[in-house]
Amino acid sequence: MNGLSGLSGSASGTVRARLRAVFADAGVTGVLHALDLDGGAEVGTGADTAVSTASTHKLCLAVAVQRCADTGLIDPAEPVDVPVEGRTPGGTGLAMLRDPVRMSVRDLLALALTVSDNAAADVLYARVGLDGVNRAMADLGLHRTVAVHTAGDLLTAIDEDCGGDPARLLVDPALTARLRVLDPERTNRSTPRELTRLLAAVWRDEACSPERAAELRSMLAHQVWPHRLASGFPFDDVRVAGKTGTLPTLRHEVGVVEYPDGGRYAVAVFTRAARTAANQPAADAAIGTAARLAVEALRSPRGRGV
């Protein structure tokens, strides 16, 4: 589905053209799916395109952890020791700390979602396994959402593919294009539509028990990054909960936008830049702009089926 369910042909074409223009102006290719969680209307451009999910796959991990907690396979309050040795590197959370840490499973989950902590995520991956994450997605009917790599695996693959010199990725587009972690056939993958379906399951208490789904919604609402999805909704009375994903040339975010009138919209935006620069502010901003256009289309009288 590349159109807009519930809109006329002319309105559908106009919104698609505006989305394409937003991505082109930012120097990225982009795919998107947005879903009205209550009315069922949807907006899509490339909604069924396979994408490398980067850290948005931590949402899948989080759902798997909560489902294991529901069945008693995991105790969310269990304290876990995280030594320095063997800790997955990264720029946030436990990944950047220099001393041993002890914290509960649910606090590790909070760090994995709110600050995209690689080290915390990999402690959880070790508990549920890649197979466990994939079983959880399959049980929810998300058969194109597949985990291949842990956070540490992603970093190792990048290091191997660039010959141990990650700085080359900033100046060699041909090398960047060959990275396994950018190829949906060889790394963690999903589609925009499947990830909005996953978000819908979390917001409707279908992904796990209501108590644990509420925990996930709270954690996602406390994500610290305001420069992507949330940038499109700079309003005090609009709540945005989401999870970012970042790899060389990739900038993503998936999340839910909630309005004070009760409207709730799941949005998944995935972009790939032509430039290899580490900082991509135009791509970041395009995610928020595209999401706002999609949600505004769903909130229009035609999008609501009025």
Nearest to 284 by CA among 232, 235, 220, 248: 232
pLDDT beyond 70 at 9: no
Residue type, 11: A
Angle (CA) 243 214 127, round 5°: 65
Residue 57 has pLDDT above 70, yes or no: yes
- Cα 11–Cα 287–Cα 5 angle in degrees, nearest 5: 30
| Mean pLDDT, residues 88-108 | 95
Amino acid at 296: E
Do the Cβ atoms of 263 and 299 come closer than 8 Å?
A: yes
- Residue 226: CA atoms inside 13 Å, Cβ hemisphere, count? 5
Domains defined for the chain, CATH in brackets: 9-299 (3.40.710.10)
Closest CA to 226 of 242, 203, 214: 242
**pLDDT digit string, tens, across residues 237-257:** 999 999 999 999 999 999 999
Rounded to two decimals, the pTM is 0.94
Residues in contact with 102: Cβ distance below 8 Å, sequence separation at least 6, in sequence order? 79, 80, 81, 82
Q: How crowded is residue 134: how many other Cβ atoms within 10 Å of its Cβ?
A: 18
- In this prediction, residues 125-134 reach a mean pLDDT of 98
Whether residue 280 has pLDDT greater than 70: yes
Average pLDDT, the chain: 94
Q: Provide the pLDDT confidence category of residue 147 given band limits of 50, 70 and 90.
A: very high
Compute the half-sphere exposure of residue 269: CA atoms within 13 Å on the CB side of its CA: 32
Q: Find the distance separating the first CA and the last CA of the chain, reported in whole Å.
A: 21
Count the Cβ atoms, other than its own, within 10 Å of residue 167.
9
| Chain segment 199-246, per-residue pLDDT in tens | 999 999 999 999 999 999 999 999 999 999 999 999 999 999 999 999
Quick one: pLDDT at residue 107?
A: 98
Nearest alpha-carbon partner for 257 in 240, 242, 269 = 240
Q: pLDDT at residue 12 above 90? A: no
- pLDDT higher than 80, residue 197: yes
**What residues contact residue 301 under an 8 Å CB cut-off, 6+ apart?**
none
pLDDT digits 0-9 by tens, 59-96: 999 999 999 999 999 999 999 999 999 999 999 999 89
The CA distance from 200 to 124, in Å, is 23
Q: What percent of the chain has pLDDT over 70?
A: 94
- What confidence tier does 1 reach under pLDDT thresholds 50, 70, 90? very low
User: Whole-angstrom Cα distance, residue 189 to residue 131?
Assistant: 14
**pLDDT over 50 (residue 305):** no
Hey, which residues does 244 pair with through a beta bridge? 253
The 3-class secondary structure across 248-261, one letter per residue, is: CCEEEEEEEEECCC
Question: Judging by beta carbons within 10 Å of its beta carbon (0-12, 13-18, 19+), is residue 9 exposed, middle or buried?
Answer: exposed
Cβ-in-10-Å burial (0-12, 13-18, 19+) of 239 comes to middle
The pLDDT, as a whole number, for residue 95 is 87
Strand partners, 269: 32, 253
